[in-house]
Amino acid sequence: MKSTTTVFILLFLAASMISCSNRSDKTEIAFTETIDVFQVSSPSLPARYSGIPITGFVVGYSLDNTAPIQRYIGEFPRATLEGAGEEFGSCNDGRKHLIALDPSPDRPLRMTAKVIGDTGAEDVSHDRNCNCDSRIDEIAVEGFAVYFQGMSEPLQFDGFKLSGEELCPNIEDGHLVRGDREFGGAVDIMGAVILRVAPDNSTILADISLSMIESDRS
């Protein structure tokens, strides 16, 4: 049986495909990645906590009367990112657009992403490095605390950041859905970041999904 996280991602991708069904000539990138927060993020988990089961986490800075949770969803608002303009040298690496994933005032977590859409050159390459590619440059979370089995007080962080090659779509891994690899201007995006306790309680996982579609806007 598929997990609720897998179902969420599949539904997200299905919605993305439906919304693009009449735009077959447009370049589209879609990818999902699951990342171990403490292996990729800064800061990392202190060694003394290694091997202790995680029972939950709290998001945001206020821990008063806040029960630990097992899962949290931050959604990218549907947005259009402007084009990068002309190339500079080998490429124009594109503008980093800062996006709030949970702008609702009743949510305690502040999660943001820096996203690069159009790069002024080929926007998705065969290799897995991030040079001159469309990508999530960084995901940042402000205020985070993790509860461990047998410990009354959580381990608190000011926040953490996710970045790296795992957030860079590429042809090698099948992320180019259709099109000629170039957005040629503005890019429509949608997606989500799901934070959850791993099934074996060993870490916190981030399920990241993102769709980038060549926009009808110039």
Question: Once rounded to an integer, what is the mean pLDDT over residues 3-29?
Answer: 58
Written as six digits, the tokens of 174 are: 């099948």
Cβ atoms of residues 49 and 148 within 8 Å = yes
pTM, two decimals, is: 0.78
Total domains, the chain: 1
Q: Which residues form the domain of 139? A: 4-214
CB atoms within 10 A of CB 9: 20
Written as six digits, the tokens of 157 are: 């962080």
Question: Once rounded to an integer, what is the mean pLDDT over residues 105-113?
Answer: 69
Helices (H), 20-149: 37-40
Q: What is the pLDDT of residues 141-154, one digit of tens each?
A: 888 889 999 988 88
> Per-residue b/e over 175-204, b at no fewer than 16 CB within 10 Å?
bbbbbebbbbbbbbbbbbbbbbbeeeeeeb
Radius of gyration of the chain (CA): 18
Of the candidates 169, 158, 139, 4, the one whose C-alpha atom is nearest the C-alpha of residue 71 is: 4
Does position 94 have pLDDT exceeding 50, yes or no? yes
Q: CA-CA distance, 104 to 134, in Å (whole number)? A: 27
